[in-house]
Structure 1
Amino acid sequence: MSRTMEWAARPEHLGGIPRKLLIAIVGTFAKTVSSFLNTTSVHNADTLLHLVRSRPRRVPLITVSNHMSTVDDPAMWGFKGFPIFDTQSARWVLAAEDICFRNALYSYIFRVGKCIPITRGGGIYQEHMNEALERLNDGEWLHTFPEGKVNQEEAPIRRLKWGTASLIARAHITPIVLPIIHHGFHEVMPEKYMFGRRPPLPLWNKKIDIIIGDPIELDLPAMRQKAISQSRSESFPIVGWPSTCDGLDEAAQRCFYSTISEQIHAAMERLRCFGKKLVKS
């Protein structure tokens, strides 16, 4: 399978000018939504800023968050003090192919904007997941919405898809994994506003809260060994995943990715509960 407009996602495409222009436009939009039209408060912003700007060289960063609206990314990066206009440190993000890559124009814009198309239901070994893995192996920052789709309900974090866990497990250098929970974007861009549809533009005078956690401690070697042992007594439907470079068969991978996802889910849910208390206080 070929990669959608991979050439447009390269930093050297047309000397980097399209990316600089697009990041400036998108950054202005994000700043406008989060810092001017609405009131945004951020808890523990310094942790994210440090990891974006000053993490060890070649160490990748994965941020994971809940998904409350179609403007979460880029608007969640538009808070005061965030380097939204820096093309080099800007995040890569997994984006739904059926929404963001519906035609050639959309595909070009999102590709230039450091988005990687993901086919929902296409599995964790689809070609664009391999591209995301390459970006991590380059030491880049990748943002994912591991719930897999927008959820505007005031409810616990949904079960996470295994794609993020598989990237963490397969990266050459274990990424720093940072959980983020936000609240308020569902009011900025409600799914059912007029005649059951989204508003044409983001709404204003809303309160947005962004709660940034601390990096999740993942003991991958111990989790890997536990997965190998557990897989011997578990029964999974086999779909033909390739063995990993360290020899994990499909059953062991399923246990491994499930364990990683559960730990990320627990961290996100703790952060969500902390955020609810923080917002009320």
Structure 2
Amino acid sequence: MGRRIMEWAARSDYMGGIPRKMVLTAVGGLAKAVVSLFNSTTVHNADTLLRLVRSRPNGVPLVTVSNHMSTMDDPFLWAFKGFPITDANLSRGGICFYVVIWSGKCIPITRGGGIYQEHMNEALERLSEGSWLHTFPEGKVYQEDAPIRRLKWGTASLIARAPVNPIVLPIVHTGFEQVMPDKFHRGKRPPFPLWNKDIKIIVGEPMELDLPEMRQMATSLSRNTSHSTLGWPSSCPGGLDEAAQKHLYSAISEKIQNVMERLRIFAKSFSKSKDQSLC
């Protein structure tokens, strides 16, 4: 069976890109109204996100990662004032590791399908083109005020397997769980987004991941441990075997999780002192 291509949602050449532009305009306009008009939104370090989305070295991909607070995080996360959410030329592909994102620029990842499922290859293609990819590496919506959960390995595998080392930018947000709560009335979500809520979006700084050194460490650790095998190919740069890949993806995920947790803690005090800087 040939590999399927996301002709409508993820590709700009389908019917001249007109369907995608229509969806982005409609959804982006609604998201802008919800986030920028009906609710109060504060963004920390937005300039870093805007700079990396609009201008970065030629051919260098961008991977943004964030926590997942509601079913509407995408597109609400990109609807703050000043962000060009309706720009179809930003080349953003969205990945949530359990469900299709409906914003018109997405790649469907099947929950439980593993990190080598077919559409992960399409995500790698986007990265090889120097595009922007956003992921929700926690793997599901968590609306509780709790530490960042253990991350799924899909995001780490994309970072490690990308032909060009991507820029990794962590983001943490709060408030969307109040705009679209999972249990609003009789255990169901509201029929439409709520208003008069406080939304905070905390953009971190690009992470420095020394992937060559992390690969060497993963290879060294794998020699002293035993793992059950899942039949993974040795397609990770450096030809790492499955055991080494597991160590590598775990190490990358742990680093991202730790940074996201620091951002989450910072967000709790952000409203008290908006001019403070991240450590």
Give the TM-score category using the shorter length.
over 0.9
- Distance 1:252-1:145 versus aligned 2 partners, 3 A rule: same
Report if the CA contact (8 A) 1:7-1:13 is conserved.
yes
Name the aligned partner's letter for residue 71 of structure 2.
T
Who is 1:132 aligned against? Answer: 123
Who is 1:252 aligned against? Answer: 244
1:2 Cα deviation after fit: 5.2
1:5 Cα deviation after fit: 5.5
Report if the CA contact (8 A) 1:67-1:149 is conserved.
yes
After the TM superposition, which segments of 4 or more aligned residues of structure 1 sit over 4 Å from their partners? Answer: 1-5
Q: Of residues 162, 169, 173 in structure 1, which corresponds to 2:153?
A: 162
- Distance 1:154-1:28 versus aligned 2 partners, 3 A rule: same
Worse-superposed segment, 70-79 or 85-94: 85-94
TM-score (norm 2): 0.93
Report if the CA contact (8 A) 2:38-2:196 is conserved.
yes
Verify: 1:46 aligned to 2:47, yes or no. Answer: yes
- Distance 1:73-1:181 versus aligned 2 partners, 3 A rule: same
Distance 2:177 2:113 in 1: 27
Who is 1:6 aligned against? Answer: 6
1:119 Cα deviation after fit: 0.7
Who is 1:238 aligned against? Answer: 229
Distance 2:187 2:15 in 1: 41
Worse-superposed segment, 245-254 or 35-44: 245-254
Who is 1:107 aligned against? Answer: none
Distance 2:13 2:65 in 1: 28
Q: Which has the higher helix share?
A: 1
Cα deviation, 1:15-35, whole Å, max 9, x if unaligned, reads: 111111111111101101110
Distance 1:74 1:90 in 2: 14
Who is 1:268 aligned against? Answer: 260
Who is 2:276 aligned against? Answer: none
SS of alignment partner, residue 68 of structure 2: coil
Who is 1:190 aligned against? Answer: 181
1:259 Cα deviation after fit: 0.5
Distance 2:191 2:197 in 1: 16
1:4 Cα deviation after fit: 5.3
Cα deviation, 1:82-113, whole Å, max 9, x if unaligned, reads: 0111101052101466x548xxxxxxxx4x81
Name the aligned partner's letter for residue 178 of structure 2.
E
- Distance 1:198-1:2 versus aligned 2 partners, 3 A rule: farther
Distance 1:191 1:74 in 2: 17
1:3 Cα deviation after fit: 5.1
Report if the CA contact (8 A) 2:97-2:137 is conserved.
no
Who is 1:37 aligned against? Answer: 38
Distance 2:163 2:194 in 1: 42
Worse-superposed segment, 76-85 or 88-97: 88-97
Report if the CA contact (8 A) 2:169-2:204 is conserved.
yes
Q: Return 5+ residue gaps in structure 2 as ranges.
A: 274-279
Distance 2:7 2:50 in 1: 29
Cα deviation, 1:181-228, whole Å, max 9, x if unaligned, reads: 000000000000011010011000000000000001100011000000
Who is 1:105 aligned against? Answer: none
Distance 1:132 1:15 in 2: 21
Cα deviation, 1:128-172, whole Å, max 9, x if unaligned, reads: 111111111111000000000000000000000000000000001
SS of alignment partner, residue 51 of structure 1: helix
1:7 Cα deviation after fit: 2.0
Report if the CA contact (8 A) 1:30-1:75 is conserved.
yes
SS of alignment partner, residue 208 of structure 2: coil
TM-score (norm 1): 0.93
Identity of aligned residues (%): 65
Who is 1:68 aligned against? Answer: 69
Q: Return 5+ residue gaps in structure 1 as ranges.
A: 102-109
- Distance 1:5-1:240 versus aligned 2 partners, 3 A rule: closer
